[in-house]
Structure 1
Amino acid sequence: MTAGIDTPDRRGRTGLDRQGRDLTGNPRVRIVDVEVLSCDWYVLRKTTFDFLHSDGHWSREQRETHDRGDGATVLLHNTDRRTVLLTRQFRLPAYVNGHPDGMLLETAAGLLDDDGPEEAVRREAAEETGLVIGAAERVFEVYMSPGSVTERVHFFAAPYDTAGFSEGGGGVAAEGEDITTVELPFEEALAMVRDGRIADAKTVMLLQWAALDGPFRRADPPEPPPCGFPQGAGGEASYRG
């Protein structure tokens, strides 16, 4: 008997080796086998499949995939004050891979678990910032690292004001979280993206969206006048000699 396959693992999951076996959406892919390599918390699988190449030949391939479930994130913004509310917390993988102290500035985010995407961002905003948010705007969905990680992240934006704060925030102590909130002028947050002080992908994406198409988008410039000579009363081109 194997935990996560025949018997529940530490998160109560079984049948983890069946994920992906029944995929039929792509006729160029035939799943042969799925092997669970690890399921201590997230799931690491090795999938064997046959792949039809563009030149018509088939090859047998193997890929390892890291399954941590899907996630959701939300940019909290205040357009009157032109500010955004971010979080700061320690991220071991970033620290191991060269970040000076591993303390990253991020938008509030978390895994969906058993919630829908919007419910998840409301939960995470409350847990991490102590903020109860109102209407949340769905922005887009992104596969963050499709070469190896299955996670799809749902992106949202929501306005905030000080009246929305409640008791709480700081993360979930039982999960070892120690999160602080950081309110920044929007222009400063963009500058921090440019100089690398903000280096978290989801946060960079939401800040750039906010500047290009979101709540801090600048008004479109007026249309330029048409090129060419001005038109006369009858529609003919006119000019002065």
Structure 2
Amino acid sequence: MQYELLNIEPLYRGFFALNRYRLRFERYDGGWSPEISREIFERGHAVAVLPFDPKRREVVLIEQFRPGAFEAPSGPWLTEIVAGMIEPNETVESVARREMAEEAGLEPLKLIPITRYWVSPGGTTESIYLFLALIDAAPTDTFFGLPEEHEDIKLHTMSLDEALARVDSGIICSAAPIIALQWLERHLPQFVGG
């Protein structure tokens, strides 16, 4: 299967970017689509990390204000996992370690790749590299974030069971923590011995 990217037209540049793509693609019947135009949100790529203490069976989650979630059941303060954007010349592992320190005051003992997924490929280029970070103890501080990035982050340490119950009840309602927590539930025996 092939595609032709005919043109990318910049529409907006600000905190993020918006481009118009003109393209066509090979169809399953062997023909080609007509030329189509799509506005694509250029978000960049991110790394998200679920800190997990296997001895205590506890996870560390963060809570912060998210302006895109005004319609969330509990409002725009979402319970999430540590995450950050990949800057030029950074590896995904270095971003994971940087964000763990900035957002939770933690250093992972080990980073375990979970998956990479596309956030909403019909309208954005963003993908997320998802990790599990093994930690030895929950942080003792509660509030984190970089003032220059206007971050105001509150930490929550809880059992894996409590976090999964929050997924089931809809309190945790963004993709990265849902995917990471459900992955951890499926793979738990390899980290806690059964």
Q: Same fold (TM over 0.5)?
A: yes
User: Which residue in the other structure is 2:133 paired with?
Assistant: 158
Residue 112 (structure 1) aligned with residue 90 (structure 2): no
**Cα RMSD between the aligned structures?**
2.1
Secondary structure at the counterpart of residue 59 of structure 1:
coil
Aligned counterparts of 1:167 and 1:196: Cα–Cα separation in 2: 26
Residue number among 3, 7, 14 corresponding to 1:40 in the alignment: 14
* Structure 2 residues not aligned, in runs of 5+: none
User: Which residue in the other structure is 1:11 paired with?
Assistant: none
Secondary structure at the counterpart of residue 95 of structure 2:
helix
Residue number among 124, 129, 139 corresponding to 2:104 in the alignment: 129
Q: Which one has a bigger Cα radius of gyration?
A: 1
Q: CA deviation at 1:131?
A: 1.0
Q: CA deviation at 1:161?
A: 2.4
User: Which residue in the other structure is 1:83 paired with?
Assistant: 58
* Structure 1 residues not aligned, in runs of 5+: 1-25, 220-241
Q: CA deviation at 1:104?
A: 0.7
Residue 186 (structure 1) aligned with residue 156 (structure 2): no
Instruction: Report 1:157-176 matches (<5 A).
Output: 157-162=132-137, 165=139, 170-176=144-150
What TM-score do the two structures reach when normalised by structure 1?
0.73
Aligned counterparts of 1:80 and 1:186: Cα–Cα separation in 2: 12
* CA shift digits 1:48-103 (9 cap, x unpaired): 112332332441101111111110011101111111001000111101x3443211
CA distance change for structure 1 residues 209 and 66 in 2, over 3 Å: closer, same or farther?
A: same
Residue 126 of structure 1 contacts residue 168 of structure 1 at CA under 8 Å; is this kept in 2? Answer: no
Aligned counterparts of 1:117 and 1:201: Cα–Cα separation in 2: 19
Residue 74 of structure 1 contacts residue 157 of structure 1 at CA under 8 Å; is this kept in 2? Answer: yes
Instruction: Report 1:10-21 matches (<5 A).
Output: none
Aligned counterparts of 1:89 and 1:199: Cα–Cα separation in 2: 13
Residue 143 of structure 2 contacts residue 152 of structure 2 at CA under 8 Å; is this kept in 1? Answer: no
Aligned counterparts of 2:165 and 2:33: Cα–Cα separation in 1: 49
Instruction: Report 1:16-31 matches (<5 A).
Output: 27=2, 29-31=3-5
Aligned counterparts of 1:174 and 1:63: Cα–Cα separation in 2: 34
Residue number among 104, 108, 114 corresponding to 1:139 in the alignment: 114
CA distance change for structure 1 residues 174 and 99 in 2, over 3 Å: closer, same or farther?
A: farther
CA distance change for structure 1 residues 166 and 198 in 2, over 3 Å: closer, same or farther?
A: closer
User: Which residue in the other structure is 1:213 paired with?
Assistant: 187
Identity of paired residues, percent? 30
CA distance change for structure 1 residues 48 and 102 in 2, over 3 Å: closer, same or farther?
A: same
Aligned counterparts of 1:145 and 1:111: Cα–Cα separation in 2: 16
What TM-score do the two structures reach when normalised by structure 2?
0.90
Greater relative contact order, per chain length (Cα 8 Å cut-off, separation 6+) = 2
* CA shift digits 1:102-132 (9 cap, x unpaired): 1111110010113111100110010001112
Residue number among 28, 45, 62 corresponding to 1:70 in the alignment: 45
User: Which residue in the other structure is 1:103 paired with?
Assistant: 77
